[in-house]
A and B are shown apart, each in its own frame.
Chain A
C-alpha cells in the first residue's frame, strides 16, 4: 500500500533534523535541500539511507541527485512504496 504524502513528510522532517540538525519546522515540500536547508551532498546520503530504512523503499544511487527539493524526495518515496 502506498504511503501517504503527509506521513512521509513528517518522517522526513524528523530524519533531516536528526541527520543535519535542521529544525523540522523548516523542512517543507518546496524547500531545496542544498540551497534552503544547507544539507550537503554527504548528509543527503545519510538522509536517503535513513529514509530507506524508515519507509522500506529503495532509493538507488542514480536517483539521489534527482532529489533536489523535499517535495522530490517525498514524491519519490510515495511512488516507490506503491
Chain B
C-alpha cells in the first residue's frame, strides 16, 4: 500500500493588487507631537508621507479591494480561488480569522482560509506557503494578502515609532506554472531578539486589571529598538538575500528588481550595498510615500515599481521580509506578467 501523491508542479505569481488608504499624512502632521522635523524624519527613514486609513477603511475592506484588483488583473473570479492566506498583526479579532471574514466578503465562503502572524515577514511567509501548496497540488490558486492598519497600534507620541508605521493592503495570486517562477524560500527566526519589536500590553492585562483602563495600562502599541533592528536587518538579512539568490541559481545582476520590506530607506540602501546589488537593479522605495506597512509593504512596493517600470513585468525580483519575532523570509520570484 502506498499513498498516492500528486506529481509536483511549478508555481508563479499571476498578479498583484493593492489598496492605499485615501488620506495622505505628510510628516508635518506628525512632527508636532514628537517635537521632530520633516527633515529629521526624511533623513532617518526616507519617509516623506504615509497613508492612514479612515474609520471606513478596515483591515477587511482594504484587503478586499486589493484582492479584487489582483483577481481582475489575473482574469480570475473568486470561484477560481481555493485558498486564502492573510498576513496581518492588526486585525482586531483573535477569531474567526481575517481570512474567513475576507472570503465571505469576496463571495467564496468555501475556500480554505487562515491567517499567519509573521509581522513584516508575513508576506514572504505567505508566498512560501502558497507556492508549496500549489506545487504539491493541495491548492490551485492561492490569494496571499498582506494587510495592516498599524495606525490603530501606533502611539502618536512615541518619538521612536510615530512617524514609521502606516496602513495599506497588497495581494498576489499564486497559481500553477509551466516552469519554476518562484524560488525556494530561505526563512527562519532569531527569536532570542524577540524583545526588539513588541506590541504590548496584552489583551489579558486589561482583563486582569479591570480597575485600570487604557489611560493607565496603555494601549497595545508597537515599540521597537531601532539600532538593534537596523543592525539585524542590514547585516543578517543581506546574507538571507544572497542565500535566496544562491538556491534559486540566480546571480544578483540577473535581477530586475530588489523589493525588500519597506522598513526604512537606510536599511534598504545599506542592505543593497552589503549585497553589492548593481545599479542596473531597480530598488523599491515605496516607503518614501507609504511608510512602513509591515506585511503589506512588499506587495505595495511591487505594484508601485511595476507601475513606474512596466518593463519589469516577467523579470526576476528578490523579495525579503523581516520583522517582529525576529522572523525573516526571502525568495526570488518572477514578477507577474503585464495584465
Query: Residues on A close to B: CB < 8 A?
Result: 40-42, 44-46, 48-49, 61, 64-65
A42 with B228: CB separation less than 8 A: no
- In the bound assembly, the distance between CA atoms of A41 and B228 in angstroms comes to 10
Q: Tell me which residues across on chain A come within 8 A of B226, comparing CB atoms.
A: 41-42
Give the 8 A-B residue pairs with the shortest CB-CB distance, closest first: A61-B228, A45-B231, A45-B230, A42-B266, A42-B230, A45-B227, A41-B227, A64-B227
Is the CB of B177 closer than 8 A to any CB of chain A?
no
Which residues on A sit within 8 Å (CB–CB) of B227?
41-42, 44-45, 61, 64-65
B residues in contact (CB < 8 Å) with A? 43-44, 225-228, 230-231, 234-235, 264, 266, 270
Q: Do the beta carbons of B235 and A49 come within 8 Å of each other?
A: yes
Question: Is chain A's binding surface mostly helix, strand, loop or mixed?
Answer: helix
How far is it, in angstroms, between the C-alpha of A8 and the C-alpha of B13 when the chains are bound? Answer: 50
Q: Please state if A46 and B44 are interface contacts (CB–CB under 8 Å).
A: no
Q: What residue of chain A has the Cβ atom nearest to residue B225's Cβ?
A: A61
- In the assembled complex, the Cα of A49 lies from the Cα of B44 at a distance in Å of 18
Which partner residue on chain A sits nearest B226 by CB separation?
A41
Residue in A closest to B267 when the chains form the complex, CB atoms: A42
**Complex CA–CA separation, A74 to B219 (angstroms):** 42
Q: Which of B225, B231, B234, B264: most chain A CB closer than 10 A?
A: B231
- What are 26 A-B interface contacts by the 8 Å CB criterion? A40-B43, A40-B44, A41-B226, A41-B227, A41-B230, A42-B44, A42-B226, A42-B227, A42-B230, A42-B264, A42-B266, A44-B227, A45-B227, A45-B230, A45-B231, A45-B234, A46-B234, A46-B270, A48-B231, A49-B231, A49-B234, A49-B235, A61-B225, A61-B227, A61-B231, A64-B227
Residues of B near A48 (CB, < 8 A) are: 231
User: What chain A residues lie within 8 Å of B270 (beta carbons)?
Assistant: 46
- Residues of B close to A61: CB separation below 8 A: 225, 227-228, 231
Rounded to whole Å, the gap between the CB of B326 and the closest CB of chain A is: 12
Q: Residue of A at shortest CB range from B266? A: A42
Bound-complex Cα distance A61 to B226 (A): 11
Question: Which residues on B sit within 8 Å (CB–CB) of A49?
Answer: 231, 234-235
**Cα–Cα distance between A44 and B234 once the two chains are bound (Å):** 13
Q: Which residues of B contact A40 (CB under 8 A)?
A: 43-44
B44 proximity list for chain A (CB < 8 A): 40, 42
Interface hub of B226, B227, B234 (most chain A Cβ within 10 A): B227
CA distance in complex: A60, B186 (Å): 26
Instruction: Report the minimal beta-carbon distance from B248 to chain A, rounded to whole angstroms.
Output: 27
Chain B residue with the shortest CB-CB distance to A61: B228
| Chain B contacts for A42, CB-based, 8 A | 44, 226-227, 230, 264, 266
Q: Which residues of A contact B231 (CB under 8 A)?
A: 45, 48-49, 61
